[in-house]
Amino acid sequence: MNIHVINGPNLNLLGKRQPEIYGSQSFEEYFEELIGQFPDHKLTYFQSNHEGALIDALHGCGFDENTAAVINPGGYTHTSIALADAIAGIEISVVEVHISNIYEREEFRHQSYLKPNCAHSIVGQGLDGYRQAVEWLLAEKS
């Protein structure tokens, strides 16, 4: 299976930004570990701070056979109807991931516009949430 991991704004700062919330490991370091955990599958990674680029990434893989996506939309979780619509408009399964538990943080973070259009949602599991998302997608497809 091809699994596209798509990260939104500020996730390029993992390992530097608020390590007490997001940890001290960069996503690039973690992604190499993640690839090693799933050697029989093709994992790709894309990150952008721009909403349109995230939508383009979803559209780019959203109709491919044997494909799924994991998305951490960052702050766009709570604001982007356009990303929610992009997920609703594609054919592949998408799992939403949040490193921190958005439901235990500031009230404005409790709303996810994407969650209703995602196949599954994982919150508050740290970077391990990405592994859990990949495992969920593989189990769904088997």
Could you give the CA distance from residue 36 to residue 50 in angstroms, rounded to a whole number? 29
Point out the residues that are catalytic.
22, 98
Amino acid at 102: I
- HEC letters along the chain: CEEEEEECCCHHHCCCCCHHHHCCCCHHHHHHHHHHHCCCCEEEEEECCCHHHHHHHHHHHCCCCCEEEEEECHHHHHCCHHHHHHHHHCCCEEEEEECCCHHHCCHHHHCCCCHHHCCEEEECCCCHHHHHHHHHHHHHHC
